[in-house]
Structure 1
Amino acid sequence: MIKAVVFDFDGLILDTETVWFECYQEVLARHELELTLEQFAPSIGTHSDDFRQYVETTLGKPGIGLEIEREVAEMIPARVELIQARGGVADYLAEAKQLGLRIGLATSSDRQWIEYYLDRLGLRHYFEVIKTSDDVSAVKPDPELYLRVVDELDIQANEAVAFEDSLNGLRAAKAAGLHCAIVPNPVTALLPFEHHDLRLDSMEDMPLADVLSRLAL
């Protein structure tokens, strides 16, 4: 019996991933580097070390990665303020509460970022447990974030369903033993997802109860 749902944040609840991609494209274009989705997508849902190394190697300029990250980070807040939660997110959270499910969040982002935007979206009160990069030694695709969430919820991993938009998130959830439904965004839609339990284009496609029924849980 499923007792909990666990949500990712960036790209799933709020599509910040598309914003980050577009900002990186703009900044790297000023350095005469054309960034493709295929080059950016593997870094989604995890830390940025590998992508930083890719940028520095491609440009042939060791150390420039941090400078580029700072440029992008300065652009992000104003643009993220313009977007709202993805379709169906608020409905899923309300339905989960109505169904008596416990609700957690597992994210590779830091706590300050997450709590600010959850408050702005008016969704913070739904989450009983929130685990961020501040709480673990390794972020996704490592399973630690999910393991910490289910441990604090005092449930077994197979009693929870994770909702993810990225390949790194999917791998983390499955490695931790959770069921996982993927809801890709425009930046992650072409990633080579496998071993997921269900795929949705949007949470508006079906009610949460139907998702659980589809998974026969």
Structure 2
Amino acid sequence: MKTIKMIFFDMDGCLIDSEIVYVHSWFELFQEMNIPIELDEIMNWRGKNNRLINDRINEFVGNMEETLNLRKIRDDRFYVKLYHNEVVLKPHALDILNYLDSKNIPYALVTSTIKEKASKVLTHFNLFHRFKFIYFGDDVVDSKPNPEIYLKAVNQSGFNKSEILVFEDSKNGIEACNNAGLDVV
């Protein structure tokens, strides 16, 4: 049995129960604006960065300024839900982090979410200080399923890939881990 010396966590969907709030915020907005993007497609955006999602929305809207305005509206709605406690920590997330702390196992956050947005969420839940390091979606050029973000995290960790375990929830995130040669649950 191999020894795990480092843990990487995705944020949305693994530590924070936010994915469904993001998805429904988009879907409700698209319905209000009569933009024909289906719920199934929005579900597949999980783990992708803003640039890729914006490009897809822009295919329907045809105007990047309007696309960015829609994103701002969606983000504002998300933050209202966050501050009204509709976005919560995943069950036992703090227990897991506390356990890892008790065993002196370092952990990092590796998320497709951009720093500005993730920082608000991490601050809200008082998690920012807990991670050895954090990689955000805007720290890389290519989003998950591209392994770039995980390869950078491996390099910064100082551990071999075989000593790292990743917690991911999205298809794109799992594929990124597989593409990086990392064990993922």
TM-score tier, shorter chain, comes to 0.7 to 0.9
Give unmatched runs, 5+ long, in structure 1.
182-217
Give unmatched runs, 5+ long, in structure 2.
none
Query: 2:49 aligns to what SS in structure 1?
Result: coil
1:153 and 1:56 map into 2 onto residues whose CA distance is 37
Task: Say if 2:120 is the partner of 1:109.
Answer: no
2:76 and 2:170 map into 1 onto residues whose CA distance is 24
Task: Say if 2:88 is the partner of 1:79.
Answer: no
What is the number of residues matched between the two proteins?
179
TM-score after normalising by structure 2: 0.86
Paired position in structure 2 for 1:153: 157
Contact map agreement 2:18 2:88 (CA 8 A) in 1: no
> Displacement, 1:104?
0.8
Q: Which has the higher contact order (CA 8 A, sep 6+)?
A: 2
2:52 and 2:70 map into 1 onto residues whose CA distance is 14
Percent identity, aligned pairs only, is: 25
> Displacement, 1:40?
0.7
Deviation readout 1:45-89 (Å, 9 max, x if unpaired): 11244444444445xx41143332232122121112222211011
Paired position in structure 2 for 1:17: 19
Task: Say if 2:95 is the partner of 1:91.
Answer: yes
Query: 2:107 aligns to what SS in structure 1?
Result: strand
1:136 and 1:158 map into 2 onto residues whose CA distance is 23
> Displacement, 1:90?
0.7
Higher helix share: 2
2:33 and 2:116 map into 1 onto residues whose CA distance is 30
> Displacement, 1:36?
3.5
Which 4+ stretches in 1 moved above 4 angstroms? none
Paired position in structure 2 for 1:134: 138
More displaced stretch, 11-20 vs 157-166:
11-20
> Displacement, 1:113?
2.4
TM-score after normalising by structure 1: 0.74
1:178 and 1:11 map into 2 onto residues whose CA distance is 19
